[in-house]
Amino acid sequence: MRQNVTILIVLVGLLTGCGTARRAGAHVDTAALERVLDQWATAWSSGDPDRLLPLFADDVQYEDVTFGAVNKGKSALRDFAAAVFESFADLRFESRSRFVAADGRSGSIEWVWRGRQIRDFPGLPATNKPFEVRGAAVVEFRDGKIARNSDYWDLATYLKQVGLAK
């Protein structure tokens, strides 16, 4: 009986140790995920949905919290991006800072968005006046791509800058 208990303890220790070693040995390439965030700003500045979409998982959930828009899947994200690119001229996103968690599951990017709104967007009439607003994206990663993205930006400042609020 004592020998069986000893064998059981050794087996549990080996199995637990192997699982721990496997987890500890798993390497997360946070630098690669940081590059994804750098490319996020570049792609949104490009005006081209085809430069944006490769950064995202096929089943991405992309939410623009300020607009109240939730886009599920790459097709919906493509439509949303195309509408943004058609509505805003001189569109530029400047990355101010970025962060990727050590486990590689999540991250964020702080950015400045500049441009001019040349076409009406749902809830936002175009004024063709330049704007510069701060914002941030909070993301979740899966397999080196963005699986979930939530954008937050300063609508009050935007409305003042384009003449829609005082």
Q: What is the 3-state secondary structure (H, E, C) of 66-78?
A: CCCEEEECHHHHH
Q: What is the chain's pLDDT, residue by residue, as a tens digit (166 residues)?
A: 555 433 434 333 433 343 333 344 468 899 999 999 999 999 999 999 999 999 999 999 999 999 899 999 999 999 999 999 999 999 999 999 999 999 999 999 999 999 999 999 888 999 999 999 999 999 999 999 999 999 999 999 999 999 999 9
Q: What is the pTM of this model?
A: 0.82
Write down the CATH number for the domain with range 29-161. 3.10.450.50
Pairing of strands 145-153, 56-64: parallel
90 Ramachandran zone, left/alpha/beta (phi>0; psi -120 to 50): left
Give the integer Cα–Cα distance in Å for 159 and 70.
22
CA distance 94 to 113: 7
What are the domain boundaries of the chain?
29-161
pLDDT score, position 26: 63
Residue pair 147/137 in contact (Cβ under 8 Å)? The answer is: no
Tokens of 100: 């990727």
Which ranges in 47-141 belong to alpha helices (H)?
A: 49-52, 74-87
CA distance 5 to 165: 75
